[in-house]
Structure 1
Amino acid sequence: MTVRGAGETSLPQFAEVVVIGGGVIGVSCAFRLAEAGVDVLLLERDGLGEGSTAKAAGGIRSSFTKPVNVELGLRGLAEYSAFRERFGVEIDFRRDGYLYLITDPADVPAIGHCAELQRAHGVRSYLLDPAEVRDVLPLIEPDGVVAALWSPDDAKATPDAVVQGYARAARACGAQLRTGVEVTGIERDGDALAGVRTTAGFVRTGAVVCAAGAWSGRVGELAGLDLPVRPFQRQVVFTGPVPGLPESVPLTIELPSAFYFHREGAGLAMSYCEDDGFPGFGTRYEAGEWLPRLAELAGRRIPAVLDAGIRTAWAGLYEMTPDRNQIIGESVLLSRFFYATGFSGHGFQMGPATGELIRDLYLGRPTSVDVAELDVRRFAAAGSAPAEHHIV
């Protein structure tokens, strides 16, 4: 039997697991659970992949400063490199690499440690001097660059195509995916889950996966839990054709300004990440003081882009935690409430590993990566965990 909601929406009366959120994290979790034989219902307020995933840059990397993030990133690279063969969907996977441009000598030791960490995991990662930077990307004006980190195996893909591939695979395994359905309440029976209230009716369930991205804090509140995930607006502009643009352009990040760009068609997608950002759920692009600062950063580093003009621009949301690291685990306050959120700009690249982790946590299996340090309880512990850098 089903409970009928507005329009064509219908919900089952019961689901073994309810996944809240239809971005790349949610559909990856739904697929891996369904693949393992679990009865899964995914609920998405809007359309699949229409939240933060739709505005993701599509970068996939293992160049992180924490070993756990390196491992999660490597799993993403492995899955996406074989995605077309595994899922039958073209995701435009390209190994154009990541290039970090260092302009502050004080950052060089940390970048050197990052390179050593990558190599310890079998990843090609090289420290470059300024003269070598233009060998990787001739477009670059290297003035002020003191060193660079070059990770040629890092890549880029199309997030929307990945979401559709996972969604199709999840449905083929028996998962039910419902869009246009908003979760309005989470019912508890003491410290156990009883069900989920939605705009289309009530669903009994014994397990919930919160994969709601920037909205996860609100989902946590519905369950009486504190998930320290806050939304921050990020803006991106897309240029017209850039003269002399090479076919292969690494996703390039200047530090510490966090100005970044990558190839998008015949032009570039460009942005920079302010430390404090724009807190809140707003997704309206505002040029304001932000665009002149972007033009200053871009003109200094890639002068050719100044003649390209802006083709379009948009704003989206990052889901930030206090230490810029994701939270993955199961609540100790509400049994079978799992969370996979707060990826702080890294959700797309960590989607494959996260689906597998949530599956294994739900089934009580050993996880392929030890994610104990990503438990939400770290924020209540004395002191604070080291922050992940380079959140682009």
Structure 2
Amino acid sequence: MEPTGTTKTERSSGAACASRTELPQRVDVIVIGGGIIGLASAYELARAGRSVLVLERSDLGAGSTSKAAGGLRSQFSDEANIRLGARSLETFAWLQDERGHELDLLRTGYLFLLSDEADVARFEQDVALQNSLGLRTTMLTVEEAHALSPVISTDGLIGAVFNPDDAHCTPEAAVAAFAHEARRAGARIATKAKATDIEIVDGRVASVTVAQASAADQHPATGTEQRIETDHIVCAAGVWSGAIGDMVGIDLPIRPLKRHVAITEPLDIDTRAMPFTIDFSTSFYFHSEGDGLLMGAPETEDTWEFDLHSDPCWLEHLSDLIEARAPDLDEVEVRAGWAGLYEVTPDHNALIGSSSEVAGFHYACGFSGHGFLQGPAVGEVVRDLVLDREPFVDVRGLSLDRFTAGELRTELTIV
């Protein structure tokens, strides 16, 4: 596998940069983070009648969202994640089918390839749980898996799992759609606007200090600062959420983990008919991207730092994985690629909740690689947390309290 042309190291947002937003003196809710989680939360809160301001330090979706692979699945081991994934799939379809946003949504399913007996046994339990919640997930034979994804080698495989309703779409398009819907509902969105301080008065949030770039230099560090009063703050800052937690004295245990993806040149096969295919033992995956494929896999050694540089050695590793699991693709050429960051917690599960220490501080971060696909549903949950209502799914087990209580809630189906 050889790269051709210019290899991208950064994926830009599909949402156009907005002009400099006039910041208000006060709003009901300030959402910190302009990725899919923050924008979905802003949309739901504005639709519920609250005044909302989104603060994005860069461009919308410029963090982990625009660098995501775009997969949308409900196949998880944790019931909360199953429900969040399934609900979000409905919303993504609604955005495209009912609201007219072109997301490049393809519902060709998710196919997990299994080569370990223990994994098969565990996935059988997951399938039973997912079926009890109304999902159409099924165990497949190796032959059935090959029929769905004919480019794979079946060597070493002993089974597979498939859900036909899972999908993938273009993250930048989803960002643009949610930004449009949030603004339409009344939310304000400020880009190049960085939260630099949070004021706490009598144990609850009182204001956020914001550094906003001038129209001339577009960099918040050289812009002017303004204090904005608010009753609620939603931390949806992704891998940078730890710094926001520090402002209020709360530890959000999130570490950055680098991941790479690559996009191939067009292929002479119908890639759009193939499901999102994952070799579970290696986490090598691929799905259609235009007339080619988007491929991804972990590095040979994890990089736990804020590093977005593409590593040429990763392409060699990817080539080895392709040769082992999809040898028919070994000669394809790469036309683009980039690195992004997972926001990883100790148990690979999200942090969703309201602080028990600082009233009015809410958090939705640490999704460990499945934040994009859960974004729309998490927006609903955040809305209900702010409004002190019961969410459609019980997320109490995803609060920070699980770490202080020593009750980790590990998600097992991670890629």
- TM-score, normalised on structure 1? 0.95
Kindly indicate whether residue 399 of structure 2 is the aligned counterpart of residue 387 of structure 1.
no
Q: Please give the alpha-carbon distance, in whole angstroms, between the structure 2 residues aligned to 1:242 and 1:144.
A: 26
Partner of 2:232: 207
AA matched with 1:344: S
Aligned to 1:256: 281
Partner of 2:117: 105
Distance 1:375 1:276, change over 3 A: farther
RMSD: 1.5
Quote the offset at 1:185 in angstroms. 0.9
CA distance in 1, matches of 2:156, 2:328: 18
Aligned residue in 2 for 1:294: 318
Is the counterpart of residue 51 in structure 1 residue 63 in structure 2?
yes
Q: What SS is found at the alignment partner of 1:16?
A: strand
After the TM superposition, which residues 52-201 of structure 1 pair with which residues of structure 2 at under 5 Å, given as runs? 52-200=64-212, 201=226
> SS of 2:144's equivalent?
helix
Cα distance between partner residues in 2 of 1:86 and 1:352: 15
Q: Which segments of structure 1 move beyond 6 Å, counting only runs of 4 or more?
A: none
Question: 2:245 is aligned with what amino acid?
Answer: G
Where 2:102 maps in the other structure, the secondary structure is coil
Which residue of the partner structure matches residue 308 of structure 1?
332
Q: Does the 8 Å contact 1:88/1:165 carry over to 2?
A: no
* Maintained 8 Å contact 1:242/1:304: no
Q: Deviations over 1:307-364 (max 9, x none)?
A: 2111111001111111111111100010010001111111111111111111111111
Residues 276, 329 of structure 1: CA spacing in aligned structure 2 closer, same or farther, 3 A cutoff?
farther
Correspondence 1:21 to 2:4: no
Question: Structure 1 stretches of 5 or more lacking a match?
Answer: 1-6
The corresponding residue for 2:378 is: 354
Residue of structure 1 in register with 2:294 after alignment: 269
Please state how far the C-alpha of 1:217 moved relative to its aligned partner: 0.7
Q: Counterpart of 2:262?
A: 237
Q: Which amino acid aligns with 1:133?
A: A
Unaligned runs of 5+ in 2: 1-18, 213-225
Q: Distance in 2 between matches of 1:298 and 1:386?
A: 33
Q: 1:370 and 1:386, CA in 2 relative to 1: closer, same or farther beyond 3 A?
A: closer
The verdict on how the C-alpha distance between 1:246 and 1:239 changes in structure 2, with shifts beyond 3 A counting, is: closer
Aligned-pair CA distance for 1:245: 4.2
Q: Identify the match of residue 306 of structure 2 among 274, 281, 285.
A: 281
* Offset at residue 390 of structure 1 (A): 3.0
Equivalent position of 1:4 in the other structure: none
Distance in 2 between residues matched to 1:23 and 1:8, nearest whole Å: 18
TM-score by length of 2: 0.89
- The amino acid that maps onto 2:410 is A
Aligned with 2:312: secondary structure? coil
Q: Is the 8 A contact 2:75 2:413 kept in 1?
A: no
Residue 85 of structure 1: how far off its partner (Å):
3.8
Using the alignment, how far apart are the partners of 2:113 and 2:190 within structure 1?
Answer: 43
Asked if structure 2 preserves the Cα contact closer than 8 Å seen for 1:258 and 1:274, the reply is no
Tell me by how many angstroms 1:8 deviates.
3.7
Residues 271 and 293 of structure 2 are in contact (CA less than 8 Å); yes or no, is this contact kept in structure 1?
Answer: no
